[in-house]
Amino acid sequence: MDKDKLRDYLNTRRQGWPYEESYHVDRMGGHRFVAKIGDELAGLSYAEIIETGREARMKMNLKGSFAEYGIGTELLNLLMDDLITSGYEIIRYEIPPERYAYQIYRNMGFTVDSQDEEAVRFIWRKNRIGGVL
């Protein structure tokens, strides 16, 4: 995702947001990021590495009261950048089908790999010259 677009999106989502002074994201090592509001956990993103060593599956949890402020998008973007920088060529992410955020994942370079009643499975692939397929 373009860094300027992400920054503009997050600024728009957080206008008038009462938590700005106490909000921070910490890297917890090993492809893990934690968002906190003061001392309270707001969300986390992490990756499971698939046996090939070139593929990762992103996971994210966000406390419901902190949804709609762009925290989840920021966590996923940080994790994805971390995985790409670390050399992963395939990144997967799965959401329940009723989620609204399809465009966010598409903007991050994901395409729908498969879908059923239980989940929408997204995939991002690095092409041979370093871009997104």
Q: pLDDT (tens digit, 9 = 90+) per residue, 18-73? A: 777 788 899 988 899 999 998 899 999 999 998 777 899 999 999 988 888 888 88
At residue 112, the pLDDT reads: 92
Is residue 132 in a domain? Answer: no
CATH number for 88: 3.40.630.30
The total of structural domains in the chain comes to 1
Is residue 118 in a domain? Answer: yes
Is residue 130 in a domain? Answer: no
Is residue 133 in a domain? Answer: no
Alpha-carbon span 132 to 84, nearest angstrom: 11
* pTM of the entire predicted model: 0.81
Is residue 51 in a domain? Answer: yes
pLDDT at 2 over 90: no
At residue 109, the pLDDT reads: 87
Q: Which residues contact 83 (CB under 8 A, 6 or more apart)?
A: 31, 47, 56, 58, 91
Is residue 56 in a domain? Answer: yes
Is residue 31 in a domain? Answer: yes
At residue 78, the pLDDT reads: 92
At residue 129, the pLDDT reads: 43
Phi, psi at 39, each rounded to 5°: -95, 0
Identify the domain containing residue 7 by its residue range. Answer: 3-125
Alpha-carbon span 119 to 99, nearest angstrom: 10
Is residue 107 in a domain? Answer: yes
